[in-house]
Amino acid sequence: MKSAVSRLVVAVSVAATLGLTAACGGGDGDGRDGGKSSTEQAKPKGRDGGAPNGDGDGARDTDGSRGSGGGGGARDGGGAPAELTAASLAKGDVRGHDVKTRRPNKLEVAWADAPASPAACAPLADLLTSATPPGAKGHVGRTVIAKDARVVAMTDVELYAYGSERAAARALGELRTAAKNEKCAAFRTGDLRYSGVKALAAPDKGDEAVSYRVGGRQDVFVKRWTVTVVRKGSTLVSFAASSHYDPESVVRDDESREDGGADLPTADRADEQPKVPAAVLDAQLAKVK
C-alpha cells in the first residue's frame, strides 16, 4: 500500500529522470547534454545573438524573440563576469543542502531561441530556459537540493549580471508586469507549455523583488515552480523552487490513506506548491554585493 514514502520516491526519482526540466512538451528530458552545465551551454536567447545596447536594456522583437539588442553571451566558466561566479553559491554555503552546477535538459536547450506566445510573456519564459536573458551580460546557475529526503522540492538559483542598475530594474519591472498579465496565465515557447501563472507576495529582500508561481506538464508528470527574483544593484537573482509528481500516483496515495494506509505527516507532499527555502535565499543574497 502506498504512503507518503512512495510519494517521496516518486517525486525524487521523477526529478532525477527529468533532470529538472521544464515540465512540458516532447523530447527525452534526461537532464543531461554531454555533461555540460547550463551556463556553459547557454547562449543569448535570440536569433542573432547580438550584444546588448547602451546600458544593457536589450530589445525584443514583436514576436517575443530577441532583436538586435539581445543579451550578451557570457557564461559561467566561459566568460561570465568574475564577480558573478564568485557571488554564486558553492558547496558548504547552505547548511543541510547540496549545491551543484545547474544542468539544463535538452528541451531547454532545444527551445532556447523560441519566441514566447503571447509575446508579452517573454520575461517569464526567459527565466525558464538555459539562455541568458536579453540585456544581461551573463549568468551563473546552481541547483540546491535539501539533504533531508523528506523534502521533495529543489531550487534552481540563477544570477544575472546587467550593465547598470537601471537595466536590471527595467528587466525586473518587465517580469513583474508579465506575472500580473492575465494573458500570461498560460503561455508557451515552442513545445514548452506553461500554465497556472499567478503573482505572489514578494519578500522584502534586496532593492526590490518579484514572486510568482507557474506550472507545466511532461507526459504524465506535473511540475510546479514557485519563483522569487530579487534585484541587488545591477544583479538579478532568481530562486525557482520546483517539484515533480505523477497526479495519478498522488490520487492513489490519498485513497490508500482513506483506507487506513500509513502516512508520514512530516514529509512534504509531492503535489504541494514548493517553497523557496529561506536558508537558500538568505545565503545567496548575502554573497551578492
Question: Average pLDDT of the chain?
Answer: 74
Q: Which residue has the cell 535565499?
A: 281
Cell of 284: 545567496
**Which range, 106-115, 166-175, 219-228, 271-280, has the best average confidence (pLDDT)?**
166-175
Q: Of 51-60, 117-126, 184-193, which range is least confident? A: 51-60
Give pLDDT tens digits for 14-34. 343 333 334 444 433 333 333
How many Cβ atoms sit within 10 Å of the Cβ of residue 200? 14
pLDDT at 1 over 80: no
The pLDDT assigned to 104 comes to: 77
Section 195-215 average pLDDT:
96
- Pairing mode, if any, of strands 186-189 and 154-162? unpaired
Q: Which residue has the cell 505523477?
A: 246
- For 170-194, b/e burial (b = at least 16 CB within 10 A) is bbbebbbebbebeebebbbbbebbb
Task: Give me the count of residues in the chain.
Answer: 289
The pLDDT assigned to 35 comes to: 39
Break the chain into its structural domains and give their ranges: 4-287
3-state secondary structure 169-215: HHHHHHHHHHHHCHHHHEEEECCEEEEEEEEECCCCCCCEEEEEEEE
Give pLDDT tens digits for 113-158. 789 999 999 999 998 877 788 889 999 999 999 998 888 789 999 9
Report the predicted TM-score, pTM, of the whole model to 2 decimal places.
0.72
